[in-house]
Every structure is written in C-alpha cells, then in structure tokens.
Structure 1
C-alpha cells in the first residue's frame, strides 16, 4: 500500500482574531475606569460634621477652595470678582441651582464667608458646605 506524500505545509497560527479580542478587552477596561473617577476638582481636606448629609440634586456646581486660597468652580479657575458671572454662565434654564462649597479645613473662615457673600448675589442659588462624616474625618 502506497500513501500519498503530504506536502510540506507548515501549520500556522492566525493571531489576528486574538489581537482583536485583546483590543476589545482593553477598550472595555479603559472605558469602565473612566466612570470610576469622580471629578470633584482639587483635593482638599474636608472638615468633619456629625450631621452631614448627602446632597443629591440634578443641577449642582462645586466651588473648591484650597488651603492656599485658590478658587475653582467645577474644573475652571475662579476669582472672587468673576465668581458670580461664572456661576450665571453655567446656569441651565431657570431651575434652582445647588452650589456645594468644598473648602479645605485650613482655609480661614473669612475667605469662605467672602465667597458666600459674592454667591448670594445669584438668584435661585442654594449654598451647601461639603463635609465628611465624623467617623471618616477622624485622623488614623
């Protein structure tokens, strides 16, 4: 019995589908990690309060005051003089607006009051001060 000769074809592995799968998995992890971060502005050390509550409202803005005294409205730098105009520019329609002040605990009280005084000129604006729950604010 005579068997036909096999041609010398080398077996090969097609890696294109594997690369496609790897890229899909990579895109999934990149996109899912974008939703895990919270954009709250600059990092500050918030004071603690026993009566702190979560303020969940659809139209909110965040004003961050760093320990160095820098102001940031959302992701933009701000000054006391331009604060009212920047808030009014970000208003959507005539809905009430909740502005959360995230002031570092090292910021002088007068500086927070000066910002609040400027913000009181904006109509239909509610002010809130961000704090941490007392258990989370305790140093380790």
Structure 2
C-alpha cells in the first residue's frame, strides 16, 4: 500500500488575533487614563496664579464653591453649617486631611473666607486653594 506524500508546508503563526487583543488593551488603558485625570467636583472657572503647584498628599478631599455660592464636598452637596460634621465623618484617625478648595473666580471673597474659617476649626485639616497655572492646565 502506497501512501501519498504530504507536501511540506512551513508552519506559520497567525498574529492577527494577538494584534487585536493588544489594540483592545491599549484602548482600555487610554480611556481609563482619561477618567483618572479629571478633577473632582463641579466644573468651575478657577483663578490663575503664577506660583501654582501640585499638592501631593494621600488623604485629600475637595470642596467646590460654585459661582452662585453652592458648596459641594466631594460628590455630595453641603452647607456651611453642616460642613464640619461632614468633614469629620470622612477623616481617618489622626491622619492629616488636605482640603482642596475649588472656588469659582466669581465667588465673593467673603464666602471663601467664611468657608476657610469654618475649616480651620477642624483638627488635622490642612487647606489648599486650587488655581490654574497662567500658562498650563488645571493645578490643585
């Protein structure tokens, strides 16, 4: 009995599925990085400052003051009277908490001072005011 001879074919690796997977993973990381760079809080027009710099601290909380005077602590609405209780509920032990105040440039100076005065009564709270650099993007 005579078997037919198999022609020798060279083995090939199909890399098209691997390229598809790489593009999906790349797309995932690009899209997820876009969501990580957004600032916390409501969109406000921050004032600009030439000496603006990033504040790096592990435990931060953002307080946004809109142009019409509304307060938002993180993602929750707040009032000046309830601000102390809301912040103390979010503090972790004795770790210092950096409060980033994002006040719209149209907010009255007196309201920002009233908020800062209220925040200074809380133990282990440090204050920072968010601004935009004069020639760059948003900097807390």
Q: Does 1:61 align with 2:72?
A: no
Q: Distance in 2 between matches of 1:29 and 1:36?
A: 11
Q: Which 5+ residue runs of structure 1 have no aligned equivalent? A: 1-21
State the Cα distance separating 1:114 from its structure 2 match: 0.7
Q: In the alignment, is the contact (CA less than 8 A) between 1:48 and 1:136 conserved in 2?
A: no
Kindly provide the CA deviation profile for residues 7-58 of structure 1, in whole angstroms up to 9, marking residues without a partner as x: xxxxxxxxxxxxxxx8xx7797467524422241100000011111100110
Number of residue pairs matched by the alignment: 119
Q: Distance in 1 between matches of 2:54 and 2:25?
A: 33
Aligned match of 2:104: 104
Aligned match of 1:36: 34
Q: Distance in 2 between matches of 1:29 and 1:85?
A: 42
Aligned match of 1:14: none
Q: What secondary structure does 2:112 align onto?
A: helix
Q: Distance in 2 between matches of 1:27 and 1:71?
A: 39
Consecutive aligned runs of 4 or more in structure 1 exceeding 6 Å deviation: 25-28
**1:15-94 map, 5 Å:** 29=27, 33-37=31-35, 38-94=38-94
- Report the aligned-residue RMSD: 2.3
Q: Which 5+ residue runs of structure 2 have no aligned equivalent? A: 1-19
Q: Distance in 2 between matches of 1:49 and 1:96?
A: 25
